[in-house]
Amino acid sequence: SIPEAVYLSNRVVVMSPRPGRITKVVDVSLGGERSEDTRNRTAFFEAITAVREGLRGMHAAHVGLGNDDR
């Protein structure tokens, strides 16, 4: 899950499908100590949004090339 990845990490790497390539790196600036309050911070939601945008951008490029696997 994206929220779990952001909560547990200092950096989240978004990769493309076949062949797997790094398309975006999101640095997560939440500090070392995290608690349930961390999930209510603006920085937490901003990092989640950045990861989701990276995935959407990658998906849009993939579909735009006629590679939609649905």
The predicted pLDDT at position 27 comes to 96
What's the pLDDT tens digit per position in 2-45?
Answer: 999 999 999 999 998 888 899 999 999 998 899 999 999 999 99
The token duo for 54 is 């990276």
* Cross-strand pairs, 25: 13
What is the biggest distance separating any 2 CA atoms in the chain, rounded to whole angstroms? 44
Distance in angstroms (rounded) separating the CA atoms of residues 48 and 21: 20
The whole-model pTM stands at 0.77
Q: Cβ contacts of residue 27 below 8 Å, gap of 6+?
A: 10, 11
The predicted pLDDT at position 32 comes to 85
How do the domains of the chain map onto residue ranges?
2-64
The predicted pLDDT at position 59 comes to 58
